[in-house]
Amino acid sequence: MMLIPSLHVHPAAHRSSKTVQFLRHSHPLASPHPHQPTPSSSVTMVNFNALTSAIVLSFAVSTLASPVARESFVTHPITKKASKSITATLAKDQARLAKYNSAASSSATVINEVDSYIAQVKVGTQTFDLIVDTGSSNTWVGANTKFSKGSTGVSTGKSVSVSYGSGSFKGTEYTDTVTLGSATVTSQSIGVASSATGFDGVDGIIGFGPVDLTEDTVSGVSTVPTFLDNLYSKGTISTEVLGVSFAPESGSDDDDANGELTLGGTDSSKYTGSITYAPKSTSSSVGPYWGVAVSAIKYGSTSLGSGSGIVDTGTTLIYIPSSAYSKFLSASGGKTDSSTGLAKFTKKPTGSFSFTIGGKVLSLTPAQYLVPTAQYSNFGISGSGYYSWINDGGSSGVDFIIGQKFLENYYSVFDTTNSRIGFATAA
């Protein structure tokens, strides 16, 4: 049974700051910001000691029967749809990668959106389970639970369609009241699906990507403002920032992952040290997505290359160029396993894996980049040995995809106001 999120006022917030439930789901009317500062080419490090003008949204999986307060947050028991096949997860990721490389077509194989983080979002009087996605920007509903127009819903009569590589939808644009916890936008543009493929068990997407990703998705309109755009333009939040905290699954339980979104600020309880910021990349290889320059990638002391990557909450694994992947396998003693598609090792690797972003080395230990053996059965892995979350991203287009398995170890910040992306070690 899905539980409607309860609200809790954060005592340290300047404005009203609240929490809302999110789910871990086992898995694009643009409003310009005339006062948005020009991004600096320098890298900055910031440590926020309190949430300021921020709306905090938390999500977790628990077996508790009642809400439990943790400092100023509230968590609830919720459910998660977990992938039971690592090959299905890889197929979904690779379809998204093909889309980023503009290689996806309308005839591409549809893969269910497994292993995604889900938010309960209210549209009008209905509550929908929507994928939280920084790799797209449209908000839409109706893939499973059908939209029922209430007193606040208005059809614009315009057609809307988006392809995600791993799925797609077509339908009609409406405006309606959209609520995420205490954050409410009236007359928010949403898509109401008449058809959707690849979204079994979820109702749609709430997109947190850059507004340019909505270009040409609604007929007769250039771009449409995102939910976060509208929160900012209406003064609900004072800065257009999304903070993301994901937590890795542990043990054999595939229902214990949790996380939190912060709208309009960052939550210092979710990370240690300072946040390192780097400018949002303008490289053609990452296009309008949340891209960042990666000045170095290494396995231990072995250099694997450099380039630009997309930071994407909708992609599960970590993808690096084929040339870097080959060097990674050679240096770590691995090979690609034909049955799973993962990098496999007979002996456990000992070297760390790292990206250098904004002058900061962001490392993963073997325990962080290897699939936990206790979870093999969850993913349908029956072989012995060790398997990695690092995978082959191909030899053209996007250099890197920094997905959930990296973000579960680093707090991430998507700062539209200052056109930058930040990372800090997860608490």
What secondary structure letter does DSSP report for 370? B
| Gap between the Cα atoms of 163 and 151, Å rounded | 30
CA dist., res. 240 & res. 268, Å (int): 17
| E strands in 166-218 | 168-180, 183-197, 204-207
Per-residue b or e along 16-52, where b marks 16 or more CB atoms closer than 10 Å to that residue's CB: ebbbbbbbbbbbbbbeeeeeeeebeeeeeeeebebbb
DSSP 204-255: EEEE-S-GGGGTTSBTT-S----HHHHHHHTTSSSS-EEEEEE----TT-TT
Closest CA to 126 of 151, 162, 94, 109: 151
Residue 194, Cβ neighbours under 10 Å: how many?
14
Q: Is 312 a catalytic residue?
A: yes
Give the active site residue among 93, 115, 133, 176.
Answer: 133
Catalytic residue from among 115, 176, 267, 312: 312
Biggest alpha carbon–alpha carbon distance for the chain: 62
The amino acid that residue 382 corresponds to is S
Can you tell me the distance from the alpha carbon of 278 to that of 357, in angstroms, rounded to the nearest whole number? Answer: 7
User: At 366, which amino acid appears?
Assistant: P
Catalytic site positions: 133, 312
